[in-house]
Amino acid sequence: MNAYFISGLGADRRAFDKILLNESYTRYFLDWIEPLENETLNEYAERMAATIDQSKPFVLIGLSFGGIVAIEIAKRYPAEKIFIISSVSNRSELPWYLKAMGKARIHHLGTVEKLKQDPNILFWFFGVTSTRMKNYLTEMMHKTSSTYLRWSMDQIVNWSQEKKPVNLIHLHGDADKLFPIRFCKPDYMIAKGGHFMVITHARQINEILLKELERMGYHS
């Protein structure tokens, strides 16, 4: 079976360096692409999914914004299972202040520029403290275009997904500052896990993924 990974906003495939799957799964990465002018999230997700081999069963593993995109991809290309990490499964799990930001379009008023100029905001939201992780996020923020950042923030705060997909497994940290757990109803809660727990709590995440994938009948 194939496993397709989608990283989060301001991250790349290196975010999954510590996530391990057994030999029954072939790993692929759906790297971010630049959005087209006036492109919808559904249209974008379809372009992201262009390399998925639909002749074989597959699972999707999405981190943060990557989880939202994974859900959109699965609407067009059904996955055996969707795993989202540090993400939201439907609009009701978005914090009220992010929804308000969307209505007021605050994210269009210099927010992207501020993030690029002062990555300390990201460090706080992502819960990273090590120099290595700070350098990684700073690098990714500089590499990511302002157009993409503005577009992706717009998609998050205006996401219209009403219900959690039935084949979705949600992993979330109780210390997540970007998507606070009080707004979420995850299937698995990771104690002391921040928004970047895919790195800091990889062992617990790997154990959960292994258990859930084995339930699907694919063993090493």
Tally of domains within the chain: 1
- Does residue 148 lie in a domain region? no
Predicted confidence (pLDDT) at residue 219 exceeds the cutoff of 60: no
> Residue 141 domain-assigned?
no
Which residues sit opposite 83 in a β-bridge?
61, 169
Would you say residue 19 has pLDDT above 90? Answer: yes
d(CA 185, CA 182): 8
Q: Give the least confident one: 18-32, 103-117, 164-178.
A: 103-117
How far is residue 66's CA from residue 70's CA, in Å, rounded to a whole number? 6
DSSP H helices, the chain, are 41-48, 65-76, 96-104, 111-117, 120-126, 131-143, 146-157, 197-200, 202-215
pLDDT surpassing 70 at residue 111:
no
Dump pLDDT digits (tens) for 157-175: 999 999 999 999 999 999 9
Cβ neighbour number for residue 182 with a 10 Å cutoff: 8
- The CATH number assigned to the domain holding 60 equals 3.40.50.1820
Q: Average the pLDDT over 178-205 and give the result.
A: 95
In a domain, 143, yes or no: no
**Between residues 128 and 200, which one has the greater pLDDT?**
200
Query: Does 133 map to a domain?
Result: no
- Residues 38-84: pLDDT tens digits? 999 999 999 999 999 999 999 999 999 999 999 999 999 999 999 99
pLDDT of 107:
56
Residue 123 falls inside a structural domain: no
What is the percent of the chain where pLDDT is above 70?
92
Tell me the residue range of the domain where 65 lies. 2-94+160-215
pLDDT attached to residue 66: 96
pTM for this model (two decimals) = 0.90
Residue-level pLDDT at 210 = 93
pLDDT greater than 80 at residue 106: no
Percentage of residues of the chain with pLDDT beyond 90:
64
121: in domain: no
pLDDT confidence band for 110 (50 / 70 / 90)? low
Half-sphere exposure of 130 (CA within 13 A, CB side): 6
Per-residue buried b or exposed e for 86-96, using 16+ beta carbons within 10 Å of the residue's own CB: bbbbbbebbbe
pLDDT score recorded for residue 130: 83
Average pLDDT over the chain reads 89
Mean pLDDT to the nearest integer, 131-146: 82
The conformational region for residue 210 under phi > 0 = left, psi -120 to 50 = alpha, else beta, is: alpha
190 in any annotated domain: yes
138 is a domain residue: no
